[in-house]
Amino acid sequence: MWSNMVKQGFSLIELMVAVVISGILAAVAVPKLFGFIDKSKASEISLAAGTYVKLLETYVSEHSKGGNWHDIGYKSPAGNSLGIAGSTNFLYDATQAFYNWSAESTVNLNDCTTGNKWFINYSLENGSHHVMFWASNTDVTKCSDALTPNFKRLSNTTTPITTPGGKE
């Protein structure tokens, strides 16, 4: 009688093994997923800053002087060319109070905490058409190196330009 019965379903052991394997995969995959999500959010910075650098280089080559965001035709991902405006993850500051270009994180991105800034200053080399850029971050290790490794490549000088208006 028992030999003619078809076995249907899973045993308790098979279900427990499947649950354990799923749990291990989730424990490994979920933190990686959140890391990738934060890295994708931070990728906005390198693209926005790169656009600013290219527009400023073009403006300097045409006018032999630097210009503010509005002059060079730059708008941040938040849509501002004047004042301060925020996208989903960053505040962009076009006032150029200290840095020529800056963005401040408004959310935690992995180990990079809220309030970290990415910034760029520039200086014209001897009044010529050549622009010297310096790009950095308030926490290079956790923010710039870990999240936006291409950001520092925007620099074409190793000398920090740290004063208002980009002057050394």
Average pLDDT value for residue range 136-151: 89
Supply the mean pLDDT for the chain.
87
The whole-number average pLDDT for the span 77-83 is 95
Higher-confidence residue of 86 and 26: namely 86
Instruction: Give the per-residue pLDDT at 168.
Output: 40
Q: What is the pLDDT of residue 3?
A: 59
* Nearest alpha carbon to residue 69 among 97, 47, 45, 43: 97
- Parse the chain into domains and list their residue ranges: 12-166
Instruction: Please state, for a pLDDT cut of 70, what percent of the chain lies above it.
Output: 89
Extended strands (E) in 74-116: 84-86, 90-93, 101-105
Model confidence pLDDT, tens digit, residues 151-167: 988 998 877 666 555 44
Task: Tell me which residue of 159, 68, 138 sits closest to 60, measured CA to CA.
Answer: 68
Grade residue 112 by pLDDT with cuts at 50, 70 and 90: very high
Residue 119 near residue 152 (C-beta atoms within 8 A): no
Asked whether the predicted pLDDT for residue 2 surpasses 60, the reply is: no
Mean pLDDT, range 64-70, rounded to an integer: 92
**Cβ(133)–Cβ(124) under 8 Å?**
no
Q: Rounded to two decimals, what is the model's pTM?
A: 0.79
pLDDT per position as a tens digit, 89-106? 999 999 988 899 999 999
Mean of pLDDT values over 98-121 = 93
Left (φ > 0), alpha (ψ -120 to 50) or beta: where does 166 sit? left
